[in-house]
Chains A and B, each alone.
Chain A
Amino acid sequence: MNYLTLFKKTFALELSSEMAYKWNFFIKSLGLIFADLIGPIIILLIYTYSSGIPGWKFEEFILFQGTFILVNGLAHTLLFGLPFQVIRSVQQGTFDKVLIKPFNPLLYLSFSSIDIEGIAEVLAGLGLIIWAFVKLGIIVFSWNTLLFLFLILLAFVFLYATFVLMSSLAFLFVKSFGLFDLFFKIIDVARYPLSIYEGGMRFVFTFLIPIGIISFYPVNVLLGGLSIMTLLEILIPVLLFLGFSVFMWNRAIRKYTSAGG
């Protein structure tokens, strides 16, 4: 069985478990879309009574938020389960089962972490992006759009790295869901453009935890193009972050001692 089959099977399993409570799934998804749309509503209220965020027109900022929601939605759908699976299985001592599977443990967990409700978030993000594309008259078939898509992919990689790091830390230090709050709050920083932050905060989130990739850089590139130098500036911190996460994961998994073993 290869990873693709694993992915398909997990998807089918997820689907049938959600369908056990169809109405709940429907309301859950609606709730997710609603929660995501509150961000843009607040932006609308802010732009009604002020000049808004420096350097961003209303439509541009909706594009920004739409991208944030889309990237998070993709991660929600495909990766959310990863850290939760890790914590749960370490707590219950079932992580051994993962280790004896004929897969690489990290890849096994990565391909079996589907959460279908995340699709609602993807749709909400896409809706906002399409609205902004039309309003701003952005040409769909252009190099900038292609680069935009590439950077979204990179943003997905960054969130993957974040989730891997989250799981490793949970492994090493605390077997608690509280740790996740910390990470989700850090990702929340990316809800607004990197350019509004000052001082140490800006430094940390540009170089150490490059959250700008989630929405700030993709939208900037879409609206203003990209030079090779900037591309490297964006690419290198993300790849370093990914490398660090995988390194931590390997350390963490070596430390694992089976509960009750």
Chain B
Amino acid sequence: MIKKSYAIARAGFKEAVAYRFHFYVTLVTSPLTLLIYYFLWKSIFEYSNVDIIRGFTFEGIVAYYALNMIVGFFVWSNVDEWLENDVRYGNLVNNLLKPFNFIFFYFFNLLGVSSLSIFLEMVPFFLIAIFLFGVKVAPVFYFLMFIVSIVLALLMSFLISYFVGMSAFWFKNISGIRRVKRVLIVFLSGGMIPLTFFPEVVQGIFKYLPFQYIRSVPINIYLGSYTYLETLMLIGIQVFWIFVLYLIVNGIWNRAFKKFAGAGI
């Protein structure tokens, strides 16, 4: 099983290497995006003449956006698009012939892509954030828990993408659904603005949704916003969500697959 998974991940890695130009571009665009947030919040903090807005200092919010981008590189998942293409153009048939479970196949493929992103996006941008934007290196405990947490976040992001991707069995063309999903998840997970900026009622609702565990929670673990115990509990909740999402996805898959016609065979 390990050997198989490794082989699939390696294929995903190699596929991503072929498109490495995309990764180089992000190395130019991400500092630019961070600069936009930097100047935006600098002007807001100076104009408002306060040190803290919704729990964030200026340095804190810059670190938040920097980490948001690092997490974003890692949990990025295109699985819904892969699934749509495989269903629409019939490639799914090829994957049927392979000796492993579908969900594992797609996951390890994605893991390969994400591991390339560690070298080409996350580490270089992390250094940029530290040396140019003054982001601090987190204490050992929080740093390690951050890593555990983003791996779990990747799993969650993968399962949600997979869930959305399965709608292709019914609707064929799901580019619209995919767009709504992408925007909604980034927004609800704290990828546009820290979740503390939402009204308390809304924040209360977010606690019961899986989205904040994809970005906001890992970022705040890194920033040391939780106690040790809270951190471990939040990681436990991530595991719980992965379990729930997996059950849902698996349940729907069995029904979805009956819809598959194998167009283009």
Binding site for B on A (CB under 8 A): 21, 23-32, 34-35, 38, 42, 45-46, 48-54, 174, 176-179, 181-182, 185-186, 188-189, 191-192, 196-198, 201
Contact digits for B29-49, partner A, Cβ 8 Å, 1 yes 0 no: 100110110011011111111
Cα(A165)–Cα(B215), bound, Å: 35
With beta carbons under 8 angstroms apart, the residue of B25, B45, B197 that contacts A181 is: B25
Q: Identify the closest chain A residue to B33 (Cβ).
A: A185
Which A residues are CB-close (under 8 A) to B32?
185-186, 189
Task: Give min CB distance, A219 to chain B, whole Å.
Answer: 17
- Chain B residues, Cβ within 8 Å of A189: 32, 36
Alpha-carbon distance between A129 and B28 when the two chains are bound, in angstroms: 33
Q: Which residue of A45, A52, A176, A192 contacts B193 across the interface (Cβ within 8 Å)?
A: A45
Given A174-B21, A196-B43: A27 in contact with B29 (beta carbons within 8 A): no
Let me know if A52 and B24 touch, CB within 8 A.
no
19 interchain pairs, CB-CB under 8 A: A24-B173, A32-B179, A35-B183, A38-B192, A50-B53, A52-B44, A53-B43, A53-B44, A54-B43, A176-B22, A178-B21, A178-B25, A182-B29, A185-B29, A188-B36, A192-B36, A196-B42, A196-B43, A201-B35
A-contacting residues of B (Cβ < 8 Å)?
19, 21-22, 24-26, 28-29, 32-33, 35-36, 39-40, 42-50, 53-54, 171-177, 179-180, 183-184, 187, 192-193, 197-198
Chain A residues within 8 Å of B43, by CB: 53-54, 196
The A contact surface, by secondary structure, is helix
Q: Do the beta carbons of B197 and A24 come within 8 Å of each other?
A: no
Which chain B residues lie closer than 8 Å to A196 at the CB level? Answer: 39-40, 42-43
Which residues does chain B contribute within 8 Å of A178, judged by CB atoms? 19, 21-22, 24-25
> Are A26 and B176 neighbours in the complex by a CB distance under 8 Å?
yes
Contact of A49 among B180, B183, B184, B197 (CB under 8 A): B197
Complex: A50 Cα to B197 Cα, angstroms: 11
Minimal Cβ-Cβ distance residue in A for B184: A34
Given contacts A24-B171, A50-B47, 4 further A-B contacts (CB under 8 A): A51-B47, A52-B48, A188-B36, A201-B39
Query: Assuming A178-B21, A178-B22, is B47 touching A46 (CB within 8 A)?
Result: no
Are the C-beta atoms of B183 and A54 separated by less than 8 Å? Answer: no
Return chain B residues, CB-CB under 8 Å to A21: 172-173
Cβ of A50 and Cβ of B50 under 8 Å apart? Answer: yes
A203 to chain B, nearest CB (A): 14
Q: CB distance B187 to A49 under 8 Å?
A: no
Cα distance A42–B171 in the bound complex, in angstroms: 32
In the bound assembly, the distance between CA atoms of A201 and B39 in angstroms comes to: 10
| Cα distance, A7 to B258, chains bound together (Å) | 43
A191 surroundings in chain B (CB, below 8 A): 36
- Chain A CB within 10 Å, residue with most, of B35, B43, B54: B43
CA distance in complex: A26, B175 (Å): 11
Q: How far is the CB of B262 from chain A (nearest CB, A)?
A: 20
Residues of B near A50 (CB, < 8 A) are 44-45, 47-48, 50, 53
Contact B171 A23 (CB under 8 A): yes
Q: Which residues of A contact B49 (CB under 8 A)?
A: 51
Q: Tell which of A25, A38, A179, A188 touches B33, judged by Cβ atoms closer than 8 Å.
A: A188
Using Cβ atoms and an 8 Å threshold, which residues of chain A touch B28?
A: 182
- In the bound complex, what is the Cα–Cα distance between A241 and B45 (angstroms)? 34
Q: Chain A residues with Cβ under 8 A from B19's Cβ?
A: 178
A171 CB to nearest chain B CB (Å): 15
Rounded to whole angstroms, the CA-CA distance of A42 and B42 in the bound complex is: 16
**Residue from B25, B26, B35, B48 in contact with A51 in the complex, judged by beta carbons closer than 8 Å:** B48
Which chain A residue lies CB-closest to B46? A54
Complex: chain A residue closest to B31, CB-CB: A185
Interface centre among B22, B39, B177, B192 (most CB of A within 10 A): B39
Chain B contacts for A42, CB-based, 8 A: 192-193
Nearest Cβ in chain A — how far from B246, in angstroms? 26
Q: In the complex the two chains form, is A24's CB within 8 Å of B22's CB?
A: no
In the complex, the answer to whether A197 meets B180 with C-beta atoms within 8 Å is no
Determine the residue in chain B with the shortest Cβ distance to A23: B171
The reply to whether B193 and A31 form a contact with Cβ atoms under 8 Å apart is no
B176→A38 contact, CB < 8 A: no
